[in-house]
Amino acid sequence: QVHLVESGGGLVQAGGSLRLVCAASGNVASINAMAWYRQVPGKQRELVASVTNSGSTTYADSVKGRFTISRDYAKDAVHLQMNSLKPEDTAVYYCNVNSEYYRNFWGQGTQVTVSS
């Protein structure tokens, strides 16, 4: 099992920044990749950004150039630096890890609200 705890969500003005943190515990050695997803009512949960153990990153087109995902191996954590935030970024953000045997684990979600 991998347990994930998220922090850093909140309310911010358009154009502002937030930094989300997801700390992993448990069988962290089994983690192959970590990612951030987001979801709003009436829309499908979407991948925002991901990073593999090899350092390969993926970003949704809507956040490229504004968001940066990074791993902190010393703290078993993944960060999502969000800059130039837009109202369209308002969503519940979920931390996700890919583990052994194709298992995935999710955090509880953290609300990000961007005001115009």
d(CA 30, CA 12) in angstroms, rounded, equals 35
What does the mean pLDDT of the chain come to?
96
pLDDT band at 16 (very low <50, low <70, confident <90, very high): very high
Q: Is 63 helix (H, G, I), strand (E, B) or coil?
A: coil
| pLDDT, mean of residues 72-79 | 94
Q: Is 69 helix (H, G, I), strand (E, B) or coil?
A: strand
Contact predicate 14/85, CB 8 Å: yes
pLDDT recorded at residue 4: 97
Q: How much of the chain exceeds pLDDT 90, in percent?
A: 99
Q: How much of the chain exceeds pLDDT 70, in percent?
A: 100
| 96 phi and psi angles, rounded to 5 deg | -140, 140
Residues 19-38: tens digit of each pLDDT: 999 999 999 999 999 999 99
